[in-house]
């Protein structure tokens, strides 16, 4: 049973992890089919990430209130419904809404899966069970790009979503048959007012920043949406500082290491968040590659990420957190800068080699930053810190997609004419500069930053 439960849960997480990487190689084909331009599809990417940010904070409460197994099954069904809706979308609006529905399901799957695993596995076997659960997170990014590119090139982009249907049905059947019913825990009080303020704030900021430069809507729509979202953020901050159990406890930002992990990490993800969106588009629109060919190239970064999983612990033990985080963000920024210099004559072997190397250090950053979040967090605040970090991750990646797409739109608007390779170069150079801000922040950390985490090893 110790392997059965995590493998069943991993079925759903594999579906989610692969889906998030599959779509990147198919954006150009989807855009052509539904009658929009590829840059506008950044709305679909941000819609998914915003749904994650909105619903992750209430996932544990829902599991305690309605039962982990029930919520997990519902999450899988919602994800499959969203996948079907994506496949049958015939407009940008329909596709964006369908991706938001997918995100609602995805927001509940990962946190609830971890909760189910913790409650159904003896403590002495938990590390082994978690190892099985992380398998889809490692395999999905490798399989996703070439698989999505293959389906899009030789069949149809619709299949990258329809493939989720049999996987989801099998998952629901396995969960219903083999997953034990969890003992429900009395749910803690949920901050409904905070949820009512934070959820719309996330959505409005992501929507507003994404549509400011879209030709389909007047720029004032994006500006007003962003300003309203920021006003709701201010209202939430005022509410949270006066509430004993807020949805997000902003008082934790007073802790220097936690604040550095969140703020510096935000600049890193702002720079890196648009890469899965921009790079495959550049390879297809400017280099002339098919979705399958671009997928075979972009998966190289996931190979580097896999290698890093086996070396990250040693890297942080030998180099410490300050040096490791500084180096990994600097290398990642250099990788973005390199993307701003590639041309169709750049050797593919060189591009793949750089992707593997940069992917290694990006993965090192993800591993270290997720631990560094807890460097000065007390046990009683660990759950709240985890939620804030996850939501910050999703929102900053969503805003990174909006920033990257916005740079393309601004560049073409200022220059006039069709999208060119030079527009992609400008976008990547700007994103590299944004990513470097995180390097500047991490290098200012004390030399012994995170030593508490080292002691734990």
Structural domains counted in the chain = 3
Please tell me whether residues 337 and 410 are part of one structural domain.
Answer: yes
CB 399 within 8 A of CB 205: yes
Please tell me whether residues 257 and 231 are part of one structural domain.
Answer: no
Cα(328)–Cα(269) distance, rounded to whole angstroms? 13
Tokens of 401: 């997609």
Domain of residue 202, residue span = 191-246
CATH number at residue 42: 1.20.1250.20
* Boundary residue ending a domain (184, 205, 227): 184
Please tell me whether residues 342 and 411 are part of one structural domain.
Answer: yes
Please tell me whether residues 263 and 116 are part of one structural domain.
Answer: no
Please tell me whether residues 12 and 116 are part of one structural domain.
Answer: yes
* Boundary residue ending a domain (184, 202, 224): 184
- Classify residue 419 by its DSSP letter: -
Tokens of 311: 């070396």
| pLDDT reported for residue 216 | 62
Cα(351)–Cα(345) distance, rounded to whole angstroms? 11
Please tell me whether residues 326 and 380 are part of one structural domain.
Answer: yes
Please tell me whether residues 328 and 224 are part of one structural domain.
Answer: no
Cα(30)–Cα(36) distance, rounded to whole angstroms? 8
Please tell me whether residues 164 and 267 are part of one structural domain.
Answer: no
DSSP state letters, 307-358? HHHHHHHHHHHHHHHHHHHHHHHHHHHHHHHHHTT--TTS-HHHHHHHHHHH
Please tell me whether residues 280 and 139 are part of one structural domain.
Answer: no
Burial of 417 (0-12, 13-18, 19+ CB in 10 A): exposed
**Which pTM does this prediction carry?**
0.79
- Classify residue 187 by its DSSP letter: P
Please tell me whether residues 14 and 122 are part of one structural domain.
Answer: yes
Please tell me whether residues 215 and 287 are part of one structural domain.
Answer: no
4-22 vs 126-133: helix crossing angle, rounded to 10: 30
| pLDDT reported for residue 457 | 39
Please tell me whether residues 263 and 132 are part of one structural domain.
Answer: no
What residue ranges of the chain have pLDDT lower than 50?
A: 1, 123, 455-457
Residue with tokens 């929009």: 36
* Boundary residue ending a domain (230, 246, 262): 246
| pLDDT reported for residue 379 | 67
């Amino acid at each position: 049973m110790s392997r059965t439960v995590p493998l069943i849960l991993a079925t759903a997480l594999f579906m989610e992890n692969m889906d998030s990487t599959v779509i990147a190689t198919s954006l150009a084909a989807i855009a052509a089919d539904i009658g929009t331009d590829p840059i506008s599809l950044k709305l679909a990417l941000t819609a998914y990430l915003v749904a994650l940010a909105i619903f992750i904070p209430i996932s544990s409460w829902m599991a305690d209130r309605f039962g982990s197994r029930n919520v997990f099954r519902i999450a899988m069904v919602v994800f499959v419904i969203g996948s079907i809706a994506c496949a049958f979308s015939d407009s940008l609006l329909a596709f964006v809404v369908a991706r938001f529905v997918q995100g609602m399901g995805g927001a509940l799957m990962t946190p609830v899966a971890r909760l189910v695993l913790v409650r159904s596995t003896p403590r002495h076997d938990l590390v082994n069970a978690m190892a099985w659960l992380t398998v889809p997170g490692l395999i999905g990014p490798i399989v996703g790009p070439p698989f999505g590119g293959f389906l899009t090139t030789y069949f149809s982009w619709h299949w990258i979503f329809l493939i989720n249907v049999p996987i989801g049905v099998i998952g629901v059947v396995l969960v219903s048959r083999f997953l034990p019913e969890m003992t429900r825990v009395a749910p803690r009080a949920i901050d409904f007012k905070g949820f009512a303020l934070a959820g719309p704030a996330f959505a409005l900021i992501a929507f507003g920043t994404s549509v400011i430069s879209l030709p389909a809507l007047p720029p004032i729509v994006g500006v007003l949406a962003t300003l309203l979202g920021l006003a709701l953020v201010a209202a939430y901050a005022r509410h949270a500082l006066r509430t004993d159990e807020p949805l997000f406890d902003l008082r934790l930002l007073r802790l220097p290491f936690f604040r550095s992990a969140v703020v510096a990490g935000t600049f890193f993800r702002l720079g890196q968040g648009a890469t899965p969106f921009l790079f495959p588009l550049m390879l297809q629109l400017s280099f002339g590659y098919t979705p399958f060919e671009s997928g075979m190239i972009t998966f190289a970064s996931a190979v580097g990420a896999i290698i890093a999983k086996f070396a990250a612990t040693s890297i942080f033990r030998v180099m410490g957190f300050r040096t490791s985080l500084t180096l990994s963000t600097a290398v990642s920024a250099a990788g973005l800068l390199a993307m701003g210099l590639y041309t169709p004559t750049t050797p593919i072997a060189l591009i793949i080699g750089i992707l593997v190397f940069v992917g290694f250090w990006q993965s090192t950053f993800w591993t270290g930053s997720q631990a560094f979040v807890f460097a000065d967090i007390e046990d009683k605040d660990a759950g709240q810190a985890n939620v804030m970090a996850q939501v910050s991750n999703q929102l900053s990646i969503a805003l990174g997609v909006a920033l990257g797409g916005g740079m393309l739109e601004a560049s073409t608007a200022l220059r006039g004419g069709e999208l060119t390779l030079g527009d992609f170069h400008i976008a990547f150079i700007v994103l590299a500069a944004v990513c470097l801000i995180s390097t500047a922040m991490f290098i200012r950390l004390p030399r012994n930053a995170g030593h508490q985490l080292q002691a734990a090893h």
